[in-house]
Structure formats: C-alpha cells, structure tokens
Structure 1
C-alpha cells in the first residue's frame, strides 16, 4: 500500500569505523558499531519515531513530529559520548575523543511510503545534509526548525542557503548548537550571549580570488561546486569542501570533505590535519584543500583574520595582502 505523508526524515551516519577496525580488530569493532547503531535505533523508537532501514554504519528514520525528531537527534549525540569499546583499558583510553563520530541530517516534508520504505524530496535533502555535516553535528532544514519550541529553536544557528548535491534549488540549513543542559550561543532567532563588540572579517586568497567576508556573508563554503561561496576548481577539492563560520567570537573552520583540509599558521611549521573536524582560525596562515600543504601542486588558500576598528566592511570586497 502506498501512502503520501508529512514526515520529518532523519539520517544518522557513524564515521570513524574504519579506524576502529584497525585499532580494535574486527570482532570488537563490529560489536561497537553494531551496538552503536542499535542504540541510535532505540532512541528513535523512544521518541516515537520509526526506523525505516539501517545503512551500514547508520540508519534512516521518520517522525510524525519535528520536535520528537530533534530531541532524538540531540539524545543520540549525548549517548554516543558514553560509548566505549568493550574490553578497552579505561586508563589507555582516558582523555581521548570518542572514536565514532555521529552526523545527523533532518528534513521535513511530504514523503511517499511504499513497501516499508520512504521516498521524496525530504528524504533526499536529509541524506544530502550529511555531506555538509562536520563531526558530531546536527543539520536541519528551516521546516524542521520553525515548529520547534522556543527553547529548542534558540539553539539553532543559520548556515544560510546551502547548495546540496543533485538539487537545483539551495536549501536553508541550520546547525543545532550546544547541549540540552548547557549554555547556548547566539542564534538566528535571537541573541542569547553578548555579541563581540568589534566586527571581524576573514580574507581568503587563491590565485586571483582575493576576498574579504564578514557579517551577513558568513558562513563561507569553500569547494569545487560553482554554487559555493568560494569556488576552487581543482579535482582534489570536494564540491562542498570546508566551511568557515563566525561563532563564539572566533572563526571556526570545519572540514566537510573526503580528502581532508590542512591548516598551517604563519610562523609555525606544524600542519593541522582536519578530517571532518573543526579548528579555530586566528592570525594568518594557509589552508590546503584535498592534499597536504607539503604538496606544492595542491590548492593553497591563504587566510588572514582581520579587525575593522574604524569602518564596517562590505562583503565581499577586493584588496590585496599588505
């Protein structure tokens, strides 16, 4: 029987399982991954959702109520933080980040339910949001965010309109920040923390592209797709490769790619490797997209964090490094 329903679609994906198999061995890693996916499935059920199918290291689920879907996604992240490999030495693993990272995409809309599976634009959008999610991030469309209670809605920060793979029209995407029992940052629905008193900008330079971004032009998405904010035409660069946000008084760089993003600050020799991770950008330096900065043929994007003490900058604007 085929039904057309309004549903909130959730895709959850565990990343890091390859390294887990290498570190723990097949038996224990399989147990951890299986237990993690089962835990995520139980959380879906506990929040009145339905697991449509499991997808290797993740699953797809649907909810009648968008608020239930967001609460489930929030609890998934909190529960994943408590998962530790069976048989692991607690002393040896103390202080380490969780080995598995969870990305969640949420979209609301009409779905076609047929033979136990679901199809439709909301399904495609929720799945594609995972391409843009960093480690332990929850991304949602505006139709998911709008009906949320005020307290939950205040935790969402707008990432503006994002071009999703295979879709003509961009989608307005929001990032869920903080935890249920912690303070939250400024969001698209109101200031919960004082905004920085001095506006900031970031300059990006690659070949003849010399631009400064600030304020309403953020976040900046760097990638190969012509639809991203800062286009870098190189086969090693993913369509949406990395994202730069202004958050908590600092610029945050998040890798969204398959080949990684690399950071070296001016005056330093260390190269920071990001694999779906995030780091704070300060001062100036160079970003390597898709290949290490030690590779001279890789696309290297220079950046400079700027302070505008006298005037409000327009974005983007063009001017050269001093």
Structure 2
C-alpha cells in the first residue's frame, strides 16, 4: 500500500562528489570534481527511478524526481554504484533531498529549490544524505528509512536550526557478509607495507611494526572520534606476510574489502588492496569517520 512518501511532490536530489586518486599527495584533500565516469554512473542509476537532470556544475548534479520514496531508493542505488567505482580512488559522496508539497510555480521558485537541494548536499558529511521535508510528510518520515539529524551546531546554516532535517539510512541495502575466523594457513598475497590514513594523519606499517590500537580513547595509537566506536575498538598487527585487523569492540567493525562490505565482531580479517575501516557503524552512517587503508603487495 502506498503512503505519503510515495505520492507525487516536488522533489529535488542534489549529488555532490569530490575525490582523489589513492597515492596522490594526501594533503591535497578530496579536491577533484566530477569526471565522466562518475557522472555517467549517477545518471544511469537515477534513470531507473524516472529522474530528470535539471542542473549541473563541475562538482554536483541536481535531479528532479516524482516522490520522496523514489529519491530515497535512488540514494541507495547511487551509493552502491559509487562503491563499485572506488577502485583506485577515495570518493566523498554527499547528497541532499529537498521536498515540497507543490511543484514550483515559476522559474524563480524552481531555481530556489535547486539551490536548496544543492545546499543540503553541501551541508552533508561524506557518505550522508540530508533530507528536508514539508510538514505534511514529517510524521511519515519516522520509519526505518529516515532518522532525525541534530542541527544544533550548524553555525553555517542558522536558518535550519529549528527545522526537522533527516538523514537516509541505506545500510540494509548494502550487501554485508560476516567473516569467518582467520585461517593462519590460508594462501594470500604477500603484503610488504600497509598505509593508513585518518584525516590528515598517516601511518605506514611493515612486517616488523608493532601492533596499532584503534578506538575512541585518547590513549589509542589511532584515536577515532566517533560516537559509534568503543574506547578500545580494534587492533591492526603484522601477521606473517599479511596485516590483520582484529575487532575487540561492543558494536563490531565494517571493512570495505574485495568490492563488498564485511562485518566482523570479535573476529579477524586480513586487510588487502585498498578500502576503509568504519568502527561501530557502516561508513554510510558514521558521518565519514573512517580509516582508509592501502597495501603494497609482492608475489609470494
């Protein structure tokens, strides 16, 4: 049975992407804009939901859709397509959904609503989609797909301090697999170095490196200031010719590995290739607070 979120409204979805190649000077940040491949991925994903491209710039795309439900479903699809495009690069994806009760009545109204969707996308954290709904839809937004966002410290958007802003939960749409206990004798590619990056800090681990601790605590080797992380959450250690991540937390750890997301809880996984580690919540719900890793391999 269709609900209010399925009905036709004026809905605009802003998609903002920035990215950088893995191995590029990390101090440059995620400053590279859209490229043709990313634009094509987003457009193809949204075409399945009847979206129409209404505006674009060097760093974002704005689409119109028929309903809030279509926009929320499209967010999940774009995130999954983005994950497949992440090989060799770090991508910061931000999105914003602006819904109105009625279609814009003039070009000026349409321009303001496009600007509103673009602004929401710019306010979002990496991996987050912000949603601003009309009063008529707020009661229906409190289901499993949307959760309220605390706007208390939004100094750059003081006009939204009293607004009910939501974020999209799309974790359930992502294929997540549980890892079995690590088998020491498993044949794997030799990893000579493991590079780690948290914000503007960097670490390089080698075969003779000491174990690194991860968590919210200030006494951890790598302190991740996430409310979802345990004080002492996980360990990374050399293990023969590999590097192993071990979870010791309450909420478990998500790892982007082999083009899928694995979840470990009181378990271990071998880190290989490049990806991210998110403590306690999937990266889509951790407000971009993830530890990036990349490995340098050699034949065994």
Larger RCO (alpha carbons 8 Å, 6+ apart)? 2
| TM-score bracket for the superposition, by shorter chain length | 0.3 to 0.5
What is the TM-score of this pair, normalised by structure 1? 0.45
